[in-house]
Chain A
Amino acid sequence: MNLDNVMVKKDRLIFFDNMNTTFPDPEVVKLMNDVLASRLGNPSSHVHSAGIAAGRIIDEAREKVSALVNASPESIIFTSGATESNNLAITGFLKANPGYQLAVSAIEHFSIINQFRLLQKEGIPAFLIDVEKNGSINLNSLEEIVQKKQTLVSISYANPEIGTIQDLNSIAEICSRHGGILHCDCTAAAGFSEIDVAGMGIDLLTLSAHNMYGPAGVGALYAGKNINISPLFAGGNQEDGKRPGTENIPGIAGMGEACRMAGENFGKWQKHLAALGDRLWQDLADSIPFIHFTGHPERRLPGHVSFWVEHVEGESLLLLLNMNGVMASSGSACSSNLKGKDESDLAASHVLTAVGVPTDICAGSITFSLGKYNTEAEVDYVVSIMPGIVEKLLAMSPSYEDYKKSKESFHG
Chain B
Amino acid sequence: MKLVTAIVKPFKLDEVKDALKDVGVQGMTVTESRGFGRQRGHTEVYRGAEYQIDFVPKVQIEILTEDAIVDRVVEAIAEAAKTGTIGDGKIWVTPVEDVRRIRTGESGADAI
**Real complex partners, A and B?**
no
